[in-house]
Amino acid sequence: MSTTKKITAGAVATALGAVTLTACGGGSGASGDKADSGKSKTVTLVSHDSFAASDAVLKEFTKKTGYTVKVLKSGDAVEAVNKAVLTKGAPQGDVFFGVDNTTLSRALDNGLFEPYEAKGLDRVDPALQLDKDEHRVTPVDYGDICVNYDKKYFADKKLAPPQTLDDLAKPAYEDLLVVENPERSSPGLGFLLGTAAAYGDGGWQGYWKKLRDNGVKVVDSWEIAYNQEFSGSAGGKKAKADRPLVVSYASSPPVEVLYGEPKPAEAPTGVSTGTCFRQIEFAGLLKGAANQDGGKALIDFLIGKQFQEDMPLNMFVHPVAKDAVLPELFTKHGVVIDKPLTLAPGKIAENRDQWIKSWSSLVLK
Amino acid sequence: MRGALVLLPAAFFAVFFAYPVAAIVGRGLKSDEGWQFGRIGEVLAQPDVLDVLWFTTWQALASTALTLLVALPGAYVLARFDFPGKQALRAVVTVPFVLPTVVVGTAFLALLGRGGLLDELWGVRLDTTVWAILLAHVFFNYAVVVRTVGGLWAQLDPRQEEAARVLGASRFAAWRRVTLPALGPAVAAAALMVFLFTYTSFGVVVILGGPAYRTLEAEIYRQTAQLLDLPTAAVLTLVQFAAVACVLALHAWTVRRRETALRLVDPAGTARRPRGAGQWALLGGVLASIALLLVLPLGVLVARSLDASGGLGFYRALRSAEASGGTFVVPPLQAVWNSLEFALAATAIAVVVGGLAAAALTRRAGRLVRGFDALLMLPLGVSAVTVGFGFLIALDEPPLDLRSTWILVPLAQALVGVPFVVRTMLPVLRAVDARLREAAAVLGASPLRAWREVDLPMVRRALLVAAGFAFSVSLGEFGATVFIARADHPTLPVAVARLLGRPGELNYGQAMALSTILMVVCAAALLLLERVRVDRKGEL
């Protein structure tokens, strides 16, 4: 045996040793992975980055059903859905949570989900059940994408904050609004869809022309819009931001209270209630899931009272179950949106890409 | 013989790089009717795509030129001058290179954006301009020039230039005739590396450039992850592939020229205290530019990580999962340990794979092996989203269904780490005299013993340096990690991104505090490196 060969053999042995060692030692908490195949006590929930739940609630699920939840975060909402479409038939997990009405058609047309009628569905508002006939998806939460305003700015200026989409195009609010690019951000897309819902196929472009002439600013992500450009947020104050209007969520004001340092008595921001587009998020059992039974149990649990009541303070969305009680933070600092703007998923699927394209040549160029 | 050495790295790259990338590109270009190569022409004919290509190329050229302009004096100063704190400074300038773009983007926005320092002093705002992109690219790549060019500069014998002057050449002529030709290939190699990194820039462009600017990399992400337009993404991936392959071929060529041409001396003997007003002014200028371009953005992060009263409240909040309001199942501080664990595993893989590859490449190389050398660099130039989506559709069957296992994170990170290991180890390995090994064998040593007594002591340092680099790069890596991050296992950059993704002062403050911690951990790793780093032949 030559020198090099021996060195090679030694090195390969070391390599294998290292890999085995790390496989055993690294990534604590990953030891349950092996148990995923076959009859498993683990149920895997694939979701987007914004998924959050209390540890206690997930443990409660384990206590009730014997299944342990493993959460796999799969990028932002659209990215997560697209990944699920790509891995159709050989899914990464058992249940997908986070497909919303803007992406629903893509998921359903691709046949991602196995029909399953969840237990307790009768407690869920029928208006939110967009797949009532086939039960391929189950609504889990809803939220509203709305323009938020910086209360202090408008109080100082003795100016009434805008309430409707029409208001935003008025000269009084020139150069005040920052929005997200619908190509890259889901609140940005929601806001665009809201304008399409309000002004119709023919009218929304004219509205955006007015917004553009009124000095609307476009940035790529919610993070930048909210933390850097919006004067009402904590980050924005530090950055001395000067846009008092931003596209965010109806639930953002309670969150500002929750994470205030120190906690303010009243939210520093408000919601323009006439600008809201409703987003409904669904969960579904993935076709080809390794743990079908666990997946079904998990979907039942997601619309169960306990999880529904845990959601608002974790993901800042509203429960769909009628028996779920909202936390005080929401009842005190949140607003109820009576007439949100909505669009049918089929309509969105049909027009989405074309609308984004024409929006971008209209507003960005 | 060499074949055996090449085997493991080749298998690693085949399984975890070539196969996934080919799978996703294939998915885009193949339909039920077979391959659709016509798509390539169709996509390339779109005016939008041409705009993207044009912007990608010119911003990379401009970034490279600007980086060289700013960093070459720095390379000279750090190579030829001796002054207190030099080691620490060398570590400081390297920190940006391994910071994730989420963090850097935030720092630059704080500096160049509305209400930033420039805005406050002179009312100048550079965010959403191409200047912000260029400056951030200088920030990131300063270290590449300092390490590649400076490392060599320190080893050039100053007496050659002095000899030329004795023979009557002016100072400038002597520099132009003696030093410049010797440095040329290193400068070219550094420029090509910077070009490669800026050509494939993603985070910087998206965060600082705003919607108006798009690089190929950003467009590939959009087409893949957002629009699921795989045919277009596949064509763009191939275009980027071709561009990167050209750059790498050029790079390999310049590196080869450098290796054959020079006789080098111990760097310890070439540095001296600055003399005369000119040299002091140069030193001052370089220090000022480092302070402005590199230290200031880092300082802004630190400042924002402190709460209203200048206290450590945000840092304390990192210790509890409750304060993060369910963003994580674990306290955010746990992310530090997750990151360290992943980075250690990634380092182990990168060192083994890269070390074996370097060992194979050491022997007098044929064309095939040189090709392999360039191949190992490819992951640096292929978009993370392509690799990530490739993983998803390629590694989905046993025994390789790794998509939901933690090992995928270190594997993906190692892909980026391997090129650094190879680049660091190769020059040192090549310098080991084979005759020493033969002598040991003649004296009766077993091959293993000969390796242990002859090779190991000489390589150990390089191995440590390589490991350190792989470690730092893994620590800051974001693209691949975010892909498979689990709720209970966020890494530092992932945790920062998640905290930034929610409203509220406490979340923002915690994001800044975690960024600061990441920065300090990277700096500590790099400072340790400086301690062991004696041989400066490595290219980085």
Please state which of the ranges A19-28, A59-68, A91-100, A247-256 shows the lowest mean pLDDT: A19-28
Set of chain A residues whose Cβ sits within 8 Å of the Cβ of B403:
87, 92
Q: Which DSSP string corresponds to B297-314?
A: HHHHHHHHTS-TTS-SHH
Instruction: Tell me how many degrees the CA angle B56-B62-B68 measures, rounded to the nearest 5.
Output: 130
Q: For residue range B354-403, what is the model confidence (pLDDT) as tens digits? A: 988 888 877 655 666 667 777 788 888 888 788 888 888 888 877 777 77
Set of chain B residues whose Cβ sits within 8 Å of the Cβ of A239:
109-110, 113-116
Set of chain B residues whose Cβ sits within 8 Å of the Cβ of A227:
500, 508
Model confidence at A288: pLDDT above 60? yes
pLDDT confidence of residue A38: 45
Bridge partner residues of A44 (DSSP): A70
Q: Give pTM, 2 decimals.
A: 0.81
Q: Could you give the residue range(s) of every CATH 3.40.190.10 domain in chain A?
A: 17-143+279-331, 144-278+341-363
- How many whole angstroms from its chain centre is CA B271? 27
B2 touches chain A (CB under 8 A): yes
A121 touches chain B (CB under 8 A): no
Set of chain A residues whose Cβ sits within 8 Å of the Cβ of B508:
227, 233-235, 238
- Write the CB contacts of B45 (distance below 8 Å, at least 6 apart in sequence): none
Quote the tokens at residue B505.
């002062």
Model confidence at A19: pLDDT above 50? no
The residue whose two tokens read 């054959």 is B260
Cβ separation of A18 and B484 shorter than 8 Å? Answer: no
Q: Are strands A217-219 and A177-180 parallel, antiparallel or unpaired?
A: parallel
> Distance between CA atoms of B460 and A98, rounded to whole angstroms?
49
Cβ separation of B345 and A27 shorter than 8 Å? Answer: yes
pLDDT confidence of residue B245: 87
Model confidence at A351: pLDDT above 50? yes
Q: Containing H/E element for A47?
A: strand A42-47
The residue whose two tokens read 């001396």 is B265
Choosing from B264, B286, B303, the residue where a domain stops is B303
Share of chain B above pLDDT 90, in %: 13
In this structure, the answer to whether residues B70 and B89 fall within a common structural domain is: yes
Q: Which of B8, B224, B498 sits opposite A12 (nearest CB)?
A: B8
Tell me how close the Cα of A85 comes to any Cα of chain B, in angstroms.
9
Cβ separation of A7 and B210 shorter than 8 Å? Answer: no
> Distance between CA atoms of A319 and A80, rounded to whole angstroms?
22
Q: Which of B329, B441, B504 sits opposite A258 (nearest CB)?
A: B504
In this structure, the answer to whether residues B491 and B362 fall within a common structural domain is: yes
Q: Give the torsion sign (CA, A223, A227, A231, A232).
A: positive
Q: For residue range A123-165, what is the model confidence (pLDDT) as tens digits? A: 999 999 999 899 999 999 999 999 999 999 999 999 999 999 9
CATH topology of domain A17-143+279-331: D-Maltodextrin-Binding Protein; domain 2 (3.40.190)
CATH architecture, range A144-278+341-363: 3-Layer(aba) Sandwich (3.40)
More confident residue, A150 or A70: A150
In this structure, the answer to whether residues B148 and B269 fall within a common structural domain is: yes
Q: Give the torsion sign (CA, B80, B85, B91, B92).
A: negative
Instruction: Please tell me what DSSP assigns to residue A164.
Output: B
In this structure, the answer to whether residues B246 and B333 fall within a common structural domain is: no
In this structure, the answer to whether residues B299 and B324 fall within a common structural domain is: no
In this structure, the answer to whether residues B196 and B330 fall within a common structural domain is: no
Choosing from B266, B285, B303, the residue where a domain stops is B303
What are the Cα distances from residue A361, in Å, to A355, B63, B335, B510?
10, 28, 41, 38
In this structure, the answer to whether residues B264 and B117 fall within a common structural domain is: yes
Set of chain A residues whose Cβ sits within 8 Å of the Cβ of B121:
none
Set of chain A residues whose Cβ sits within 8 Å of the Cβ of B113:
228, 239
Q: For residue range B494-536, what is the model confidence (pLDDT) as tens digits? A: 788 777 777 677 778 888 888 888 888 877 877 777 676 554 4
Tell me how close the Cα of B42 comes to any Cα of chain A, in angstroms.
18
Q: Give the torsion sign (CA, A15, A20, A25, A27).
A: positive
- Rounded to an integer, the average pLDDT of A262-277 is 92
> Distance between CA atoms of A37 and A327, rounded to whole angstroms?
39
Answer for the pair B38, B234: CB distance below 8 angstroms, yes or no: no
Q: Containing H/E element for A95?
A: strand A95-100
Set of chain A residues whose Cβ sits within 8 Å of the Cβ of B110:
238-239
Asked, for residue B540, whether it belongs to a domain, the answer is no
Instruction: Please tell me what DSSP assigns to residue A96.
Output: E
A20 touches chain B (CB under 8 A): no
pLDDT confidence of residue B287: 92
The residue whose two tokens read 């600007």 is B66
pLDDT confidence of residue B478: 64
> Distance between CA atoms of B372 and B374, rounded to whole angstroms?
5
- Write the CB contacts of B66 (distance below 8 Å, at least 6 apart in sequence): B134, B137, B138
More confident residue, B223 or A303: A303
Which residue range forms the structural domain that includes residue B86? 37-303
Q: In A, residues 22-41, which contact B (CB 8 Å cutoff)?
A: 22-23, 26-30, 33, 36-37
- Rounded to an integer, the average pLDDT of B16-33 is 88
pLDDT confidence of residue A10: 42
φ, ψ of residue A177 to 5 degrees: the values are: -100, 135
Mutate to test the interface with A, among B505, B506, B512 (most CBs of A within 10 A): B505
Q: For residue range B314-349, what is the model confidence (pLDDT) as tens digits? A: 888 887 766 555 555 567 778 888 888 888 999 999
In this structure, the answer to whether residues B403 and B530 fall within a common structural domain is: yes
In this structure, the answer to whether residues B75 and B180 fall within a common structural domain is: yes
Model confidence at A34: pLDDT above 50? no
Cβ separation of A75 and B484 shorter than 8 Å? Answer: no
- In chain B, the number of structural domains is 2
Q: For residue range B441-491, what is the model confidence (pLDDT) as tens digits? A: 788 877 778 777 777 777 777 788 788 878 877 877 766 555 555 666 777
Provide ipTM, 2 decimals: 0.77
Choosing from B303, B335, B366, the residue where a domain stops is B303
Cβ separation of B503 and A55 shorter than 8 Å? Answer: no
In this structure, the answer to whether residues B20 and B43 fall within a common structural domain is: no
Give chain A's length: 365
Among residues A128, A144, A277, which one has the least CA distance to residue A199? Answer: A277
Q: In A, residues 189-248, which contact B (CB 8 Å cutoff)?
A: 218-224, 226-229, 233-235, 238-242, 248
* Residue type at B139 in one-letter notation: F
What are the Cα distances from residue B183, in Å, to A231, A280, B159, B225, B283?
50, 61, 15, 42, 20
User: Hey, is B34 helix, strand or coil?
Assistant: strand
In this structure, the answer to whether residues B26 and B51 fall within a common structural domain is: no
Measured between CA atoms, the residue of chain B closest to residue A229 is: B114
Mutate to test the interface with B, among A6, A51, A238 (most CBs of B within 10 A): A238
Rg, Å, chain B Cα set: 24
- How many whole angstroms from its chain centre is CA A335? 19
In this structure, the answer to whether residues B203 and B237 fall within a common structural domain is: yes
> Distance between CA atoms of A281 and A126, rounded to whole angstroms?
14
CATH code for position B461: 1.10.3720.10
